[in-house]
Amino acid sequence: MLSDQAQRNFVSWAQARVGTSINHIQLIDPSLQNNRISILKKVDDLGAQLFSSFFQQGSKTVIGATEGWTIDQLTKNGWATNKCSDPYMPGVALCLGMPSHQGYVITGDSTYDASDPGKDGGALLAHEYFHLVQANIAKNPLRIEVRSEPGALTGIPVWFLEGTAEFVGYSVGALAQNASYWVGRSRMLSYSPPGESTNRNAISDYELRTCCGNGMPTYSYNIGQVATEYLVASIGFQKMLDIWADYANTRNFEKSFESVTGISKATFYERFDQVRTKVGLPAISWKLDGLVNRKI
């Protein structure tokens, strides 16, 4: 029920974006002719329709068969990078350039499977594109201010940064393929790294990213996605975006969250942790002690 209501609210928002002016450049290597590139193009087309108007200078997606081709096209379109090879999944490497560029190198094919929506790269492309959207809405285009130390009152909690991108990634991926988000939801929550502490902390323990890895000190993606479902189901997709927009003025997540949602972050955390076991997450059994995760 939670994910279905979140999807209804997202799709309703998306339908209202039909006809919105598109401010986007898409460049695809003509040598790429396979199933995966067809999937990525559909996802990028939809993402541009939904979000490119948030970019003052427009957004750019470059998808090549080789790193050299992708780098060359990115350079010609305003981002002079010398590397586009971060290996995110089999057959897909990428690079992300704030505030408006994303590049992909596709070396393997894949087909779309609604029950396994993370394997083809479509959700990944939409996820990374939404990170650019976040930075532009928050009017801090060169970087997103992320919490990196305990007790920080400003900056974006990592669960919100990555969770909203996860929700958008899988939602846009499913909608672009005229598929059901819910069919693959359990698989969406299975990409987390192994470890007893993954998903087993209170949501407050997923605010930080210290250094050098997505799980430092906790892995925020799954918790963040479900928490975003809870938010979008409760207040709608536009209100979730409004938190980012308000943060552009306050530079204080707590103030912006309460101003937009009508409840404090602490109240939201309390309510979320009460329902977590009913929405696909395990009970709380681990807790951060400073930056060290320990079993309760």
Residue extents of the structural domains in the chain:
2-286
- Coil, strand or helix at 161: helix
**CA–CA separation, 84 and 255 (whole Å):** 37
Q: Where are the alpha helices (DSSP H) in the chain?
A: 2-16, 35-51, 67-76, 122-137, 158-176, 185-188, 221-235, 237-250, 253-261, 265-275
Q: What are phi and psi of 117, to 5 degrees?
A: -75, 0
Q: What is the pLDDT of residue 145?
A: 80
| 170-199 per-residue burial string, b: 16 or more CB within 10 A, e: under 16 | bbbbbbbbebebeebbebbbeeeeeeebbb
Radius of gyration of the chain (CA): 18
CB-count burial class (<10 Å; 0-12, 13-18, 19+) for 295? exposed
**CA–CA separation, 178 and 278 (whole Å):** 27
**CA–CA separation, 229 and 170 (whole Å):** 11
Q: What is the pLDDT of residue 152?
A: 66
DSSP secondary structure string for all residues of 212-228: SSTTSB---HHHHHHHH
Expressed in angstroms, the distance from the first to the final Cα of the chain is: 30
Q: Which residues fall within 8 angstroms of residue 34, CB to CB, at 6 or more apart?
A: 106, 109
**CA–CA separation, 287 and 89 (whole Å):** 30
Q: What is the pLDDT of residue 31?
A: 95
Could you read off the pLDDT tens digit of each residue along the chain, which spans 296 residues? 899 999 999 999 999 998 899 999 999 999 999 999 999 999 999 999 999 999 999 999 999 999 999 999 999 999 999 999 999 999 999 999 999 999 999 999 999 999 999 999 999 999 999 999 999 999 986 667 887 777 666 789 999 999 999 999 999 999 999 999 999 999 999 988 877 778 999 999 999 988 777 878 899 999 999 999 999 999 999 999 999 999 999 999 999 999 999 999 999 999 999 999 999 899 999 999 988 899 99
CATH 3.40.50 fits 2-286, yes or no: no
